[in-house]
Amino acid sequence: MDASLIISNFLNPPVLFFFLGMTAVLVKSDLEIPAPIPKLFSLYLLLAIGFKGGVELTKSGINQEVLFTLLAAMVMASLVPVYTYFILKIKLGVYDAAAIAATYGSISAVTFITASAFLTELGIDFDGFMVAALALMESPAIIVGLILVNLFTINDDREFAWSEVLREAFLNSSVFLLVGSLIIGALTGEHGEEVLAPFTQGLFYGVLTFFLLDMGIVAAKRIRELQKTGTFLISFAILIPILNAGLGILIARVIGMPQGDALLFSVLCASASYIAVPAAMRMTVPEANPSLYVSTALAVTFPFNIIVGIPLYLYGIELLWS
């Protein structure tokens, strides 16, 4: 593997600020981001990436390539929770295995945005409609995770309020804002892009940098919780993203995606949700331990992907495409 890819990714300002946040916790600095601000930054990033994706979708139109990509995204979002559940069942109970499986079937929007910034830094083109794949992969994993709980528990008294489950899966704030921004971007097109450019483009990397600083602080705090889980979950949180990315790369090759799109698709397959799915699991599967599914996604998989995973997946794509 070309070490320059890792160095290039590592030396991106947002990634370096992620490390700064982790370092602040490790050296016991009192650095912290006030609670409402990270939520605001998260909403901004979803709005900006969704709007830009909608504009690009208007430019490219709906064609066979777009449809195949979106179908592949939904298939992976539904398939990953199934096989990861059975892997996790080796060591964990039904509730924890299903919650973690759903977490890894869903996606991390910030990992996707970081990969987009990495491609931009390298001058590799990618299609804006990949944001539509991001939007479609958020919810199916939640539903599959809850189906797994229903199938493999013998507690007859347990009941799911499916209306609430579906509401949480499709109308939670991140999915709603992302899809809504995508639609608005598609409706307004290039005119909307021009009007909002100072907001959605000029501020984007600054907000991403500040958000990753906060993510570094949060991730470092979560690492301590993983000390109780042993090596199994830590190994899972590193190896499963590689497996999922590998499957994503093979699918991308079969479909004929260009390299930039293939990287974003593989990153979506490899990432894990630490916002939408944990919120849904807390409501619908209270028996699952949140420290397991939040910590693995945020403290291990997220840093692994943005530091090593993204350049590693691009290296694999370059080998296969050549």
Average pLDDT over residues 129-151: 85
* pLDDT(112) > 80: yes
Per-residue model confidence (pLDDT) at position 236: 95
* pLDDT(28) > 60: yes
Residue 308, domain CATH: 1.20.1530.20
Q: What confidence category does residue 207 fall into, taking pLDDT thresholds of 50, 70 and 90?
A: confident
Residue-number span of the structural domain to which 190 is assigned: 3-24+33-321
Rounded Cα distance between 119 and 113, Å, is: 10
List, for residues 253-283, the tens digit of each pLDDT value: 999 999 999 999 999 999 998 877 887 787 7
Q: What confidence category does residue 46 fall into, taking pLDDT thresholds of 50, 70 and 90?
A: confident
Domain count, the chain: 1
Rounded Cα distance between 117 and 17, Å, is: 14
Per-residue model confidence (pLDDT) at position 253: 96
Which has the closest alpha carbon to 14: 211, 198, 187? Answer: 211
Which has the closest alpha carbon to 172: 36, 45, 280, 283? Answer: 280
Any idea which of 8-12, 113-117, 200-204 has the lowest mean pLDDT? 8-12
SS3 194: helix
Per-residue model confidence (pLDDT) at position 5: 67
* pLDDT(155) > 70: no
Rounded Cα distance between 71 and 65, Å, is: 10
* pLDDT(8) > 70: no
Average pLDDT over residues 91-108: 92
Percent of the chain exceeding pLDDT 70 equals: 91
pTM given for the model: 0.85
Angle at which helices 310-321 and 109-122 cross, to 10°: 60
Q: Phi/psi class of residue 107: alpha, beta or left (left: φ > 0; alpha: ψ in -120 to 50)?
A: beta
